[in-house]
Amino acid sequence: MDVIVENVTQIWTDRRRGEVQALSHVSHRFSSGRFSCILGPSGCGKSTLAQIVGGMERPTEGKIDIRSADGAQVAPGAASVMVWQNQNLFPWRSVLDNIAFGLEVAGVGRAERHERARAWTGAVGLRGFERHLPRHLSGGMRQRVALARALILDRPILLMDEPFGALDAQTKFVMQEELLRIFEAHRRTVIFVTHSIEEAVLLGDEVVVMTARPGRIKEVIEVDLPRPRRLEMMGSPQFAALTGRVLGLIREEVTRALAEQDRPDGAA
Amino acid sequence: MRRALEILLPMSSVVLFVLAWQFYVDWNDIAPIYLPAPSAIVLALWEMIADGSLFVHLGATVLRIFVGFFLAAFFGILLGLLMGMSRLVARIADPWVAALYPLPKISLIPLLIIWMGTGESYKILISAISAFFPIVMSTHAGVRQIEPGLLKAARDLGASARQVQMKVVIPGAIPSIFSGLQLGMGVTIILIVAAEMIGGSSRTGMGYLLVHAGQVLETEKVFAALVVLAIMGAVIIKTQQWLDRVLAPWADLS
C-alpha cells in the first residue's frame, strides 16, 4: 500500500511558547512493500509525521493519501498499526491477551484469537511467557509483545516510532535482526522512526533525513544493501559509506539546531 | 534469622507491653473501674463469648458495615466512572462533590435522625454517605489519570469508543478505585460504630456495647470491646488489601 504525504504542515499551539511548527511542507511517497526509515535530530517532528500517517493526529495543513494496489483510497489509520517506543502494553493483560487485543475488539472468538496469538507469541520468541503480565517482562520482551500485537492484525502498513530506542545495545541488535527476518518474510510498507543512523541504514530501503525543527525533508537516501540483511553487513565498506553520508547530513542539522538554541533572542 | 526477627520483634513488643500493664495494675492495686488488668479484660471477653452476646453485637456491626460499604461502593464507582467518562456529568456533579467531601459527615447525624429516626437506615446511610465521597473522588481520578498512550494504542488497534471505555478505561482505573474502596472501608467502620454509639439508637452493635458498658462502669467490657473492634478493623482492612492484590496483580497497591 502506498502512503503519499502531500505538503503536510503541523503546528502545535502551546500555552507557554505560543505556536510551534513541528513539520513544514513535508511531501514524500512511502512506496508499497518498502522499509522507510525517518531519521532526524530530536524534536524534528518525525514521530509527529508517523502519528499523522497513522491517523492519530490531524495535520494542520496538507493531507495523507493512502492507496491500495487497485487505487482505492483508504483512511489514515485504517490500514496501519503502530508500534510505540514505550510499547503501551495494557498492564492488566497477559502477554497472550495483549497480543490478542486487536482481534478481540474486532470480534474474533476467544478460542481462535488465543490460537493465533499463541502462534505469534512463538514467532517473536516468547513461548512460555503467554500468561506473564507486562510488568514481569524485560524491556526487550515487552517490545516483542508490542510487535506481535501489531503484526497479528496483518495490516499493510506498519508504523514504528523509535521502537528500540529504550533498549540496551545487545537487545537492540537481536530485535533488529528479528524485525529484518519478519519483514523479509512478510513484506509490507514499513515507516520506521529512529534517531540511530546505523539502525536506519541497516533496516531501511531508504532513509528519509529530516531537518531540525520545523521538520522538512532534507534528503532521501536510497540504501542499496542487498536483502536479506544481516548484522554482519554493518562491517562492510558500503555500509560505512552510507552511514557516513547520512552522518554528514545529520551533523549539519544538529549543528544548526544547536546554533539556533544559543541565539540570544531565544527564538526557540 | 532476619525473618525470625521480623516476626519475633513485633510479637515480643506486644507481649512485653501487656505484661508491663498487668504488673503495673497488680503492683499498684489500681481500681478496675479506672484501669482493669489485661487478665480481667480477657475474662470479660471470655464471658461475652461464652454467653454469645459478643457475636450478636459483632455480627450486627459487621452486617451494617458491609451494607453501608456496598451501597457506597456501588453508587460511588458508578458516579465516579460517569464523571470520568462524561464532561457533562463531571460539570454537574463537581460542585456537590467539592462542597460535601470536606464536610465532616458526623455533622449530618442530627439531620438524619430527624429525617429517618434512629433505626437501621440512619446508621447505614450515614456510613454510606461518608464512604461514598472518597470512592467517587478516587474513581474519577483513576479514570482521568489513565495513560493517554494506552487510549491511543487501543484506538489504533481498532477499538471503538465503547470498547476503549470497557477494555481500557475501566480496568485502567481499577488500582485507583481499589484505593478509594480501602479509604471508604475505613470510613464506613468509623461511622457505623459512631452511629451505634449515639443516643440509644440501637440495642445491638459494638458501638452500643461500648457505650452501655461505659455507662454502667464495666471498664473491662469497654476494653474488651475496643480490643474486638481493633481486631475486626484489622481483619477487614487486611482481607480487603489481600483481595485487591489477588484481583489486580498488575497494580502497585500500597
Among the residue ranges A9-18, A163-172, A204-213, the one predicted with the least confidence is A9-18
Q: How far is B202 from chain A (nearest CA, A)?
A: 45
Q: Find, among B177, B194, B46, the residue nearest to B124 by Cα.
A: B194
pLDDT, residue B199, reads 64
Q: How confident is the model at residue A186 (pLDDT cuts 50, 70, 90)?
A: confident
Residues A70 and A91 grouped into a single domain: no
Q: Closest-CA residue in chain A for B165?
A: A105
Whether the pLDDT of residue A84 is over 80: the answer is: yes
pLDDT, residue B253, reads 62
Query: Once rounded to an integer, what is the mean pLDDT over residues B110-124?
Result: 88
Task: Give the three cell numbers for residue A233.
Answer: 553487513
Query: Once rounded to an integer, what is the mean pLDDT over residues A169-185?
Result: 91
Residues A66 and A96 grouped into a single domain: no
Residue A232 lies in a domain: yes
Which chain A positions have a beta carbon within 8 Å of B163's beta carbon? 105
Which chain B positions have a beta carbon within 8 Å of A101's beta carbon? 154, 157, 159, 167
Residue A10 is part of which domain span? 1-79+178-268
Phi, psi (deg, nearest 5) at residue B31: -65, 135
pLDDT, residue B10, reads 87
Q: Characterize B191-201 residue by residue with b for buried, 16 or more Cβ atoms within 10 angstroms of its Cβ, and e for exposed.
A: bbbbbbbbeeb
Distance between CA atoms of residues B25 and B20, nearest Å:
9
Residues A44 and A21 grouped into a single domain: yes
Indicate the residue of B149, B163, B174 with minimum beta-carbon distance to A84. B149
Q: B113 in helix, strand or coil?
A: helix
Cβ pair B253, B71 in contact under 8 A = no
Q: How confident is the model at residue B106 (pLDDT cuts 50, 70, 90)?
A: confident
Q: How far is B109 from chain A (nearest CA, A)?
A: 41
Query: Beta A80-83 vs A157-161: how paired, if at all?
Result: parallel
Cβ pair A76, A66 in contact under 8 A = yes
Architecture of domain B41-247: Orthogonal Bundle (1.10)
Cβ pair B149, A84 in contact under 8 A = yes
Distance between CA atoms of residues A199 and A191, nearest Å:
13
- How many other C-beta atoms can be found within 10 angstroms of the C-beta atom of residue A33? 13
pLDDT, residue A144, reads 93
- Dihedral angle over CA of B224, B230, B231, B237, nearest 10: 160
Query: Once rounded to an integer, what is the mean pLDDT over residues B26-35?
Result: 90
pLDDT, residue B200, reads 64
Distance between CA atoms of residues A103 and B157, nearest Å:
9
Residues A105 and A189 grouped into a single domain: no
Q: How far is B140 from chain A (nearest CA, A)?
A: 19
pLDDT, residue B6, reads 85
Which chain B positions have a beta carbon within 8 Å of A77's beta carbon? 156
Cβ pair B138, B180 in contact under 8 A = yes
Residues A131 and A91 grouped into a single domain: yes
> End-to-end CA distance of chain B, in Å?
26
CA A241 to chain centre: 24
Between residues B254 and B122, which one has the greater pLDDT?
Answer: B122
Number of independent structural domains in chain A: 2
Residue A170 lies in a domain: no
Residues A103 and A145 grouped into a single domain: yes
pLDDT tens column, A197-256:
999 999 999 999 999 888 899 999 999 999 899 999 999 999 999 999 999 999 988 888
Lookup result for grid cell 496538507 = A62
Residues A129 and A106 grouped into a single domain: yes
- Look at residues A103, A122, A154 and tell me which one is the last residue of a structural domain: A154
Whether the pLDDT of residue A268 is over 60: the answer is: no
pLDDT, residue A214, reads 86
Which chain B positions have a beta carbon within 8 Å of A81's beta carbon? 156-157
Lookup result for grid cell 477494555 = B167
pLDDT, residue A267, reads 47
pLDDT tens column, B44-67:
999 999 999 999 999 999 999 999
Residues A34 and A113 grouped into a single domain: no
pLDDT, residue A266, reads 47
Query: Once rounded to an integer, what is the mean pLDDT over residues B159-163?
Result: 95
pLDDT, residue A264, reads 59
Counting every residue, how long is chain B?
254
Indicate the residue of B153, B157, B248 with minimum beta-carbon distance to A153. B157
Q: B153–A153: do the CB atoms touch at under 8 Å?
A: no
Residues A74 and A90 grouped into a single domain: no
Q: How far is B164 from chain A (nearest CA, A)?
A: 9
Please enumerate in sequence order all residues whose Cβ is within 8 A of that of A26, keeping only pairs 6 or more positions apart, or say none.
Answer: A5, A7, A8, A9, A45, A49, A62, A215, A216, A217
pLDDT tens column, B212-242:
999 999 999 999 999 999 999 999 999 999 9
pTM (two decimals): 0.85
pLDDT tens column, A85-106:
899 999 999 999 999 999 999 9
- Dihedral angle over CA of B185, B188, B190, B195, nearest 10: -170
Which chain A positions have a beta carbon within 8 Å of B154's beta carbon? 90, 101, 105
Q: Residue A4: give its domain's CATH number.
A: 3.40.50.300
Residues A194 and A136 grouped into a single domain: no
Q: How many CB pairs under 8 A join A and B?
A: 56
Distance between CA atoms of residues A258 and A265, nearest Å:
14
Whether the pLDDT of residue B116 is over 90: the answer is: no
Q: How far is A40 from chain B (nearest CA, A)?
A: 23
Whether the pLDDT of residue A160 is over 60: the answer is: yes
Mean pLDDT score of chain A = 91
* Share of residues in chain B with pLDDT > 90 (%): 77
Q: A101–B249: do the CB atoms touch at under 8 Å?
A: no
- Look at residues A93, A119, A154 and tell me which one is the last residue of a structural domain: A154
Q: A88–B249: do the CB atoms touch at under 8 Å?
A: no
Residues A119 and A232 grouped into a single domain: no
The residue extents of the domains of chain B are 41-247
By the 10 Å C-beta count (0-12 exposed, 13-18 middle, 19+ buried), A263 is classed as exposed
Residue A68 lies in a domain: yes
User: DSSP of B169-207, one letter per residue?
Assistant: IHHHHHHHHHHHHHHHHHHHHHHHHHHHHSTT--SSSHH
Residues A148 and A265 grouped into a single domain: no
Distance between CA atoms of residues B254 and B250, nearest Å:
12
Indicate the residue of B153, B167, B171 with minimum beta-carbon distance to A88. B153
CA A185 to chain centre: 18
Whether the pLDDT of residue B201 is over 70: the answer is: no
Per DSSP, A215 falls in state B
pLDDT, residue A98, reads 97
Which residues of B fall below an 8 Å CB-CB distance to A?
147, 149-150, 152-160, 163, 167-168, 171-172, 174, 248-251
